[in-house]
Chains A and B, each alone.
Chain A
Amino acid sequence: DTGVSQDPRHKITKRGQNVTFRCDPISEHNRLYWYRQTLGQGPEFLTYFQNEAQLEKSRLLSDRFSAERPKGSFSTLEIQRTEQGDSAMYLCASSLEEGADTQYFGPGTRLTVL
């Protein structure tokens, strides 16, 4: 049972560029979450998928952000026209619907916008 994987682990981009991150959840986990964490803060919820359906989006997720989970397996998070304020660690977590729905986090993608 491999853990949650994320790619890339680090991304440096210039302001105004688009970036896309990928998350592969633990196999058979049907729930997938995206969080964002900035220095000195706890992770903040961005969005949540159950299978391929995106069931909730935070108000933090502006129209520049879009997330997909096309086949209910891996997910992508795209940020268009990046801003310096988007610099953060982007964390993906997955869980099973049954039971405690405990969320397990991937290693994260650290985004730096210059």
Chain B
Amino acid sequence: QKEVEQNSGPLSVPEGAIASLNCTYSDRGSQSFFWYRQYSGKSPELIMSIYSNGDKEDGRFTAQLNKASQYVSLLIRDSQPSDSATYLCAVNKITGGGNKLTFGTGTQLKVEL
């Protein structure tokens, strides 16, 4: 079992629709959860972070966390072509005082005109 699992996609949604991206993790001791967006050939860019169960909204983005189910998701409302990218789910592991991130393989999102 992978430590962080994501559907690789591609996930195709029409412009203006809601895109739903999902992620599961195996380590119940994980404490912080992050979504990064990565355009082809570029580095990861932080989109959202979430630490407690429930929803967290920031503009068109909503992160959802369910620690009991070891599940974290990202909703993108009113999807735009510029949202087309790979979305990486990352989970922290506190080791030696630092927060090493463990990433999933990413979900490719395509927003179609």
Contact = CB atoms under 8 A, between A and B. Distances in A.
Interface of A: 31, 33, 35, 40-45, 48, 50, 55-56, 89, 91, 93, 95, 100-108
A102 B34 contact: yes
Contact of A50 (B36, B90, B97): B97
Given A42-B106, A43-B101, A56 B51 contact: no
Given A100-B51, A108-B43, 16 more contacts: A31-B98, A40-B105, A42-B4, A42-B90, A43-B44, A45-B101, A45-B102, A55-B96, A56-B98, A91-B44, A100-B32, A100-B49, A102-B34, A105-B43, A107-B43, A108-B42
A33 B44 contact: no
Nearest first, the 10 A-B pairs at minimum CB distance are A42-B103, A55-B96, A48-B98, A101-B99, A108-B43, A105-B43, A56-B96, A45-B100, A105-B44, A43-B103
6 contacts: A35-B101, A42-B103, A91-B44, A103-B34, A107-B42, A108-B42
Interface residues of B, number: 27
A95 B34 CA distance: 14
B60 to A, nearest CB: 20
Contacts of B1: none
Contacts of B97: 50, 55
A3 to B, nearest CB: 10
B41 to A, nearest CB: 8
A103 B51 contact: no
A48 B105 contact: no
Interface in B69-110: 88, 90, 92, 95-106
A104 B49 CA distance: 12
Nearest to B4: A42
Interface centre among B4, B36, B103 (most CB of A within 10 A): B103
Interface string B9-48: 0000000000000000000000010101000001111100
Contact of B99 (A41, A103, A106, A108): A103
A4 B101 CA distance: 17
A56 B100 contact: yes
